[in-house]
Amino acid sequence: MSIRLREALREAAAEVPAYPVHDRAVRTARRARRRMAAAVAAVAVLLALVPLTVSGGGRPGIAPAGADGPALPDRIGLPGFGTLRATDRPRLGPASVVFSGQARGLTGLIDEDGTVGIVAADADRYRTWKVGHEAPAGEQVLLSPDGRGIAVPAGSSEHPGIDLVDLVDGAVRRLPSPREGSTLTEPAGWTPDGTALVVRDTTPANPEGSAHVNTLSLVRLDTGRAVRLLETEQLPIFGTPVAFTADGSRLAFQVGDKVLVSSADGQQVSSFPLPAESGLAGKGAWLPDGTLALVSHDPGSDRWRLRRVDTAGKDLGAPALPAVAGVTTIRLLGWQADGTAVVVAYRPEPNSPTSFEGALPMDQRTAYGNVRTVRVLGLAPGAAAPTTLLTAPDQVLAIDVADTVVRAGRVRAADPPAGPGGRVWWAAGAAALVLGGLLARRLLRRRRAARAGGVSRGRAPRG
């Protein structure tokens, strides 16, 4: 290189502004740290808010019972998208109500009409449980007397059984069918102390499967020991409903157009035919004086009322309770201390082609296609009209209420949750954590690249 060329290069280099390598590297590193800290803080805030959204501001775990104990909400809503399941944390604890139907949140593309909504005993906390097929609450999905668990049909036709879902500890226990060869097992009724369950089985009567038999059994939950109550040819109404006396020593159930009374050890006490357009009232059919309540349709009207009979079927007249008009039928849940009867009223579907004023089988009066919605009513002695205790959205078509809630006689002002459920928030929190991690990793890479670039640009030129 000539002396003249070397001097020209030096003059050109002197005119180029110096690059602040160290200062730029420091500023880049600080900017990367600030971005990373902001991302971590945002994720931490989001994750801190998620448990508050899910558990209503309390710590994870079972929410304490209200000061006044369990109560019936005066209205229920629909489970939101992503509502926590019955076994999710935080645990729900005892429930006041379970409900089912064809409304949003209770049905889907795969599990047709197969989702059950569950409401806590003391607050508007909702959970769901998927049965996978149509299973009306109060008929095939039963809330235990104390509200601690639900019994739902489960298993395939090869392995039928009943799932017992504990709402307090989240455990799910499978109760196998007590009937060998059964292809369908359903819960039919809880004993008052919740230690045993009446189970209804359907079993093929021949190899071709062209005929079936129904079996009703009382199964102890601790030992699995089963007492057979009745077995007969398949009937449209079999063992629905099941009503126990308060001490659990006797039970009554409807089979076709008859009511049978049995002892808990399977001995039949009595049976009697039902009058036209009447049926055993419900799980609360036993009165404190040992008589039974029937639901009866007033001829030529849309009014339903309760009637008393003895265990031989002798009509003892109607108690001084108001009738219920404008419904397909009513079902008796139980009695309050002042003698008020608590019933489910099924309001008719206006578009149903079925006429409810004429004769209609009792099991069709609560069928989903014939019902628009349900209400829980109180029929107080001497009252002129029923009192509405609970309302439900349209297409909530079946409901069950815990016996402890019925007996307590308390109704609370409800405020059902709206918007997405807890599973959505947990998913959002997990997604935010992943994205935050990816962002932090990307910023860290940029920081390392900036450092490497700074070192490279800061090397002295070779002569």
Query: Lowest-pLDDT range, 93-107, 152-166, 327-341, 394-408?
Result: 152-166
**Average pLDDT for residues 256-274, to the nearest whole number?**
97
pLDDT tier, 33 (very low <50, low <70, confident <90, very high otherwise): low
**Average pLDDT for residues 394-412, to the nearest whole number?**
97
pLDDT tier, 419 (very low <50, low <70, confident <90, very high otherwise): confident
Give the pTM.
0.81
**Average pLDDT for residues 319-335, to the nearest whole number?**
96
pLDDT tier, 459 (very low <50, low <70, confident <90, very high otherwise): low
**Average pLDDT for residues 304-324, to the nearest whole number?**
97
Query: Lowest-pLDDT range, 171-180, 183-192, 296-305, 329-338?
Result: 296-305
pLDDT over 50 (residue 52) = no
Closest listed residue to residue 402, CA positions, set 94, 42, 64, 110? 94
**Average pLDDT for residues 30-55, to the nearest whole number?**
48
Task: Determine contact, residues 75/390, Cβ cutoff 8 Å.
Answer: yes
Q: What is the pLDDT of residue 53?
A: 37
Query: Lowest-pLDDT range, 27-31, 98-102, 304-308, 395-399?
Result: 27-31
What residue has token string 């039963």?
Answer: 142
Q: Where are the alpha helices (DSSP H) in 124-235?
A: none
Q: What is the pLDDT of residue 75?
A: 98
**Average pLDDT for residues 332-337, to the nearest whole number?**
97
At 205-251, the pLDDT tens digits run 999 889 999 999 999 999 999 999 999 999 999 999 999 999 999 99
Q: Is 282 exposed, middle or buried (0-12, 13-18, 19+ CB in 10 A)?
A: buried
Q: What is the pLDDT of residue 81?
A: 84
- 115-120 and 411-412 beta bridge pairing: unpaired
pLDDT over 80 (residue 428) = no
pLDDT over 70 (residue 12) = no
Distance of CA 156 to the CA centre of its chain: 21
**Average pLDDT for residues 381-386, to the nearest whole number?**
97
Percent of the chain residues topping a pLDDT of 70: 76
At 69-90, the pLDDT tens digits run 899 999 999 999 899 999 999 9
pLDDT over 80 (residue 421) = no
* Backbone angles phi and psi of 348, in degrees to 5: -70, 150
Rounded CA-CA distance 184/228 in Å is: 16
Q: What is the pLDDT of residue 301?
A: 81
Position 290, amino acid:
G
- 411-412 and 72-73 beta bridge pairing: parallel
pLDDT over 80 (residue 23) = no
**What residues have CB less than 8 Å from 411, skipping those under 6 apart?**
71, 72, 73, 74, 389, 390
What residue has token string 């230690």?
Answer: 195
Give the chain's length. Answer: 463
Q: What is the pLDDT of residue 455?
A: 54
